[in-house]
């Protein structure tokens, strides 16, 4: 059981973003979706958690078709999915502890002491222990992203979806986040989907890599297969040579 | 040539369609919010905080406005009545006008700026920074978490703030009559009670409750549907204040026609 996008179409007004995008995320792997900025990667990711509904095609999570799920069951399903937002999307008016504990309070069944302990553990996992009383405005960009990851793992999800986790970060912080993604898989055993346009990060953290191009899947394979590809569009993207991509248009 | 002649009608037609679709979308939003009330566990613990932010924090501005309104009403009544009508009618005018019209309407308009703008800006910022999406991914129904407690707090607190404002407006009118118009307390009270009916209080509360519903729900509606970045938040805030102010004035006339 895992996440499947089956021939998904999505348009916003006249702008077609996804035009028959298909993808299967296998249990336990980290799948990276590469693509140019504005290619619809984030839109595809939001379909996996039901934030967007496909115009055509279906999205399946653990064998359940999202389109057919009643709201309550969709919320139940989301409890098993952690989502790391591109700009962290932390609640400004709350401290880090409150942000990280937010999902746990919704799940219920945990005492305040247990929540506090779990929050502390999650902040420690992302090396932010001791900063729980701070507000998001008091953090650097990298710390905010790490808090976003701590919040996403707090409910011990089966899946972790990362939306551009290293965009806008300096090389050192980027490396820290990449290592964190690898640790999440190794230590927590989560199935991950990472959206990025950073080829180096993709090859480091991904077991498999897909490339989204003009609303469809252009490539799917291992990092080694990506590097060896002869597809001019994929090659042009990973080598930063737009002329190769243009020749095929 | 024909197009030019028809242009004003086309513009009016488009504006009417836009207004009708806007009201329709707000209606759907309001219906969804009512359905979200079943998540008492989500909005219940946020209600008190919102009552404090929407109600208690609005008391100073409401009292400031009503104090000066009471002073002006007493002075203008005296200016109008002197030599023609007994002065105790100053009490009639201050009491009736504060209670039936200026208390609820001025408080509603002031709070549409303070509360409506605040809600639209806060929710709009949350929308464009994906905080609303974050709530959804953590299985919080956004309407139950963000909208229901604000609208309920508005419905509960607007009448309370308005009644306080009316009370302070009457007191300031009374003090003005004593200090500046050489009236006695007995004279002022005679006027105040002369045409008073308990229904006046009910009328005030009904108006203030409807204004609370409108200001908070319109603020939530525009904030929740914000698109774009800072400019989008600014637009939503402006639209929320303008729309709720206009609806308050329309409702003001509506209640006068229906209830008086």
- Report residue A248's pLDDT band, with 50, 70 and 90 as the boundaries: low
pLDDT, position A222: 95
Q: How far apart are CA B180 and CA B174, in angstroms?
A: 10
pLDDT > 90? residue A242: no
pLDDT digits (tens, 9 = 90+) for B9-18: 889 999 899 8
| Opening angle at CA B118, ends B152 and B222, nearest 5 | 75
Q: Regarding predicted confidence, which is higher, B158 or A188?
A: B158
Q: What residues contact B40, with CB distance under 8 A and at least 6 apart?
A: none
Q: How far apart are CA A17 and CA A39, in angstroms?
A: 7
Q: How far apart are CA B32 and CA A190, in angstroms?
A: 35
pLDDT digits (tens, 9 = 90+) for B3-36: 888 888 889 999 899 889 989 999 999 999 999 9
pLDDT, position B97: 95
- The DSSP string of A26-69 is PTT-EEEEE--TTSSHHHHHHHHTTSS--SEEEEEETTEEGGG-
pLDDT > 70? residue A249: no
Residues A103-129 have a mean pLDDT of 91
* Beta-carbon count within 10 A of B198 CB: 7
pLDDT digits (tens, 9 = 90+) for A135-158: 999 999 889 999 999 999 999 899
Could you tell me the strand order of the sheet in which A216-221 lies?
A81-84, A159-163, A191-196, A30-34, A208-213, A216-221
From A47, which residue of chain B is nearest by alpha-carbon distance?
B137
Longest dimension (CA), chain A: 61
Q: Which residues of B touch A (CB under 8 A)?
A: 42, 125, 129-131, 133-134, 136-141
pLDDT, position A37: 86
pLDDT, position A132: 92
- The DSSP string of B164-208 is HHHHHHHHHHHHHHHHHS---HHHHHHHHHHS--HHHHHHHHHHH
pLDDT > 80? residue A5: yes
Q: What is the mean pLDDT of chain A?
A: 91
Mutate to test the interface with B, among A69, A106, A151 (most CBs of B within 10 A): A106
Q: Which residues of A touch B141 (CB under 8 A)?
A: 71, 75
From B39, which residue of chain A is nearest by alpha-carbon distance?
A72
Identify which of A179, A247, A248, A239 has the alpha carbon closest to the alpha carbon of residue A34: A239
Answer whether A87 sits within 8 Å of B130, measured CB to CB.
Answer: yes
Q: Which residues of A touch B134 (CB under 8 A)?
A: 83, 85, 89-91
Parent domain of B189: 61-259
Q: How far apart are CA B87 and CA B181, in angstroms?
A: 9
Residues A1-19 have a mean pLDDT of 92
Residues A60-83 have a mean pLDDT of 93
Q: Which residue has the tokens 């990851």?
A: A149
| In a domain? residue B177 | yes
Q: How far apart are CA A151 and CA A183, in angstroms?
A: 15
pLDDT, position B85: 87
| Opening angle at CA B165, ends B159 and B166, nearest 5 | 90
Mutate to test the interface with A, among B124, B134, B228 (most CBs of A within 10 A): B134
Where are the domains positioned within chain A?
81-156
- The DSSP string of B106-148 is HHHHHHIIIIIHHHHHHHHHHHHTTHHHHHHHTT--HIIIIIH
Q: Assess contact for A49 and A161: CB atoms under 8 A.
A: yes
In this prediction, the residues of chain B whose per-residue pLDDT falls under 50 are none
| In a domain? residue B36 | no
Q: Assess contact for A192 and A27: CB atoms under 8 A.
A: no
From B138, which residue of chain A is nearest by alpha-carbon distance?
A103
pLDDT, position A171: 87
SS3 of residue A129 by DSSP: coil
Number of domains in chain B: 1
Chains A & B: contacts with CB separation below 8 Å: 49
Check CB contact of A107 with chain B, cutoff 8 Å. Answer: yes
pLDDT > 80? residue A244: no
pLDDT > 60? residue A247: no
Q: Assess contact for B233 and B128: CB atoms under 8 A.
A: yes
From A45, which residue of chain B is nearest by alpha-carbon distance?
B137
């Amino acid at each position: 059981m895992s996440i499947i996008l089956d021939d998904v179409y999505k348009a916003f007004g006249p702008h077609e973003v996804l035009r028959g995008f298909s993808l299967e995320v296998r249990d336990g792997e980290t799948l990276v979706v590469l693509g140019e900025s504005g290619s619809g990667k984030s839109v595809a990711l939001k379909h996996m958690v039901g934030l967007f509904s496909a115009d055509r095609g279906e999205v399946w999570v653990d064998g359940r078709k999202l389109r057919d799920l009643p709201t309550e069951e969709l919320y139940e399903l989301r409890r098993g999915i952690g989502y790391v937002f591109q700009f962290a999307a932390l609640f400004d008016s709350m401290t880090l502890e409150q942000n990280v504990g937010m999902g746990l309070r919704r799940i219920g069944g945990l005492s305040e002491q247990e929540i506090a302990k779990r929050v502390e553990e999650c902040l420690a996992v992302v090396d932010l222990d001791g900063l729980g009383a701070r507000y998001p405005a008091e953090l650097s960009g990298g710390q905010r992203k790490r808090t976003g990851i701590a919040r996403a793992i707090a409910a011990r999800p089966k899946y972790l979806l990362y939306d551009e986790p290293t965009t806008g970060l300096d090389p050192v912080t980027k490396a820290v986040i990449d290592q964190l993604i690898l640790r999440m898989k190794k230590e927590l055993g989560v199935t991950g989907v990472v959206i990025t346009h950073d080829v180096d990060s993709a090859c480091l953290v991904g077991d498999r890599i897909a490339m989204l191009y003009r609303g469809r899947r252009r490539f799917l394979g291992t990092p080694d297969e990506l590097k060896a590809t002869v597809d001019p569009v994929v090659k042009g993207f990973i080598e930063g040579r737009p002329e190769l991509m243009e020749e095929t248009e | 040539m024909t197009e030019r002649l028809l242009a004003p009608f086309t513009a009016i037609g488009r504006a009417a369609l836009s207004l009708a679709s806007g009201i329709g979308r707000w209606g759907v939003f309001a219906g969804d919010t009512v359905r979200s009330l079943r998540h008492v566990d989500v909005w219940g613990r946020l209600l008190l905080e919102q009552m404090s932010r929407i109600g208690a924090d609005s008391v100073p501005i409401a009292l400031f406005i009503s104090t000066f309104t009471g002073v002006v009403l007493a002075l203008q009544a005296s200016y109008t009545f002197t030599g023609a009508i007994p002065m105790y009618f100053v009490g009639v005018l201050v009491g009736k006008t504060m209670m039936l019209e200026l208390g609820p309407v001025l408080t509603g308009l002031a709070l549409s700026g303070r509360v409506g703008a605040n809600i639209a800006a806060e929710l709009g910022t949350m929308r464009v920074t994906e905080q609303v999406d974050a709530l959804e991914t953590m299985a919080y129904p956004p309407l139950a978490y963000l909208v229901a407690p604000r609208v309920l707090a508005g419905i509960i607190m607007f009448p309370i703030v308005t009644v306080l404002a009316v009370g302070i407006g009457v007191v300031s009118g009374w003090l003005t009559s004593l200090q500046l118009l050489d009236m006695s307390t007995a004279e002022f009270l005679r006027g105040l009670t002369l045409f008073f009916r308990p229904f006046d209080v009910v009328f005030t509360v009904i108006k203030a409750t409807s204004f609370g519903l409108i200001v908070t729900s319109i603020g939530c509606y525009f904030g929740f549907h914000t698109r774009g970045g800072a400019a989008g938040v600014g637009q939503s805030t402006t639209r929320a204040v303008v729309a709720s102010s206009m609806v308050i004035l329309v409702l003001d006339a509506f209640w006068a026609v229906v209830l008086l």
